[in-house]
Amino acid sequence: MSFPDLDLVLRSLCGNILDRSAIRTLAVVKHVASTFELPIDVACSLVAPMNTLGIGDGEAPADLFNRTFNGRFAEIDGTVILAPAFVPPAYRQYRRLTCAGDVLAPRNKEYRQRVARALGLSETGLGEIVQRFRQKYRALRGTAPSTRTSSACRSCRCCTASAGWPAPLSSPRPTSSECSTR
């Protein structure tokens, strides 16, 4: 396993700690990647947030998010979906696609179409997936998070819990004393 791949696994799945548990995680990721012939970053993205780090040596960014949602689409459409705050030089001249509120709302059509194309889905197929997740979430939690409006920051434990948002699998979240909405 390369050092960048090791860094990715440790950072996204092991809390940046190399211990006995991390060794087991590394073995599982390596097994999944080799069994299904996937790059390590794709294997990690199955259970952790998609990697948005890694510019690479070429013109276009080399991270998984940009390879998936931008790449050739950005070149063809002249638009870009940004995950991190950093705008790679190759994308600075492109118009930014954003999504505000409900991804299925008419105002988010262009964004939704881009995501669907990047995932190899029809727009209807993406809509069906979103609806099924909402149904599942309602059954588990009582209401779907993507239809709520909240002033919560969604980045600290107190706002996440009070708004009913599921906690991501990523790094530890700030406490309420560090919350930007308090």
Do 8 and 41 belong together in one domain? Answer: yes
Average pLDDT over residues 121-150: 78
Do 77 and 109 belong together in one domain? Answer: yes
Q: At what angle do helices 20-35 and 3-13 cross, to 10 degrees?
A: 110
Total domains in the chain come to 3
Q: Is 37 left (phi over 0), alpha (psi -120 to 50) or beta?
A: left
Calpha distance 179→182 (Å, rounded) = 6
Task: List all residues 6 or more positions away from 10 whose beta carbon is below 8 Å from its beta carbon.
Answer: 16, 17, 18, 22
| Last residue of one domain, picked from the residues 94, 118, 142 | 118
pLDDT at 136: 87
Do 81 and 112 belong together in one domain? Answer: yes
Most distant CA atoms of the chain, gap in Å: 49
107 within domain boundaries: yes
Residues 24/182, Cβ–Cβ less than 8 Å? no
The residue range of the domain holding 112 is: 64-118
pLDDT at 92: 87
141 within domain boundaries: no
Do 99 and 68 belong together in one domain? Answer: yes
Query: pLDDT, tens digit, for every residue of 69-113?
Result: 888 898 888 999 888 777 888 888 999 998 888 999 999 999 999
168 within domain boundaries: yes
76 within domain boundaries: yes
pLDDT at 108: 92
Query: pLDDT, tens digit, for every residue of 22-74?
Result: 999 999 999 999 999 999 999 998 888 888 777 776 777 888 888 888 888 98
94 within domain boundaries: yes
Do 41 and 68 belong together in one domain? Answer: no
37 within domain boundaries: yes
| Last residue of one domain, picked from the residues 118, 141, 160 | 118
Do 71 and 103 belong together in one domain? Answer: yes
84 within domain boundaries: yes
129 within domain boundaries: no
Residue of 96 and 160 predicted with greater confidence: 96
Instruction: List C-alpha distances in Å: 144 to 4, 16, 108, 123, 128.
Output: 36, 32, 18, 20, 14
Average pLDDT over residues 148-175: 43
Calpha distance 2→72 (Å, rounded) = 26
Judge whether residue 150 has pLDDT over 80.
no
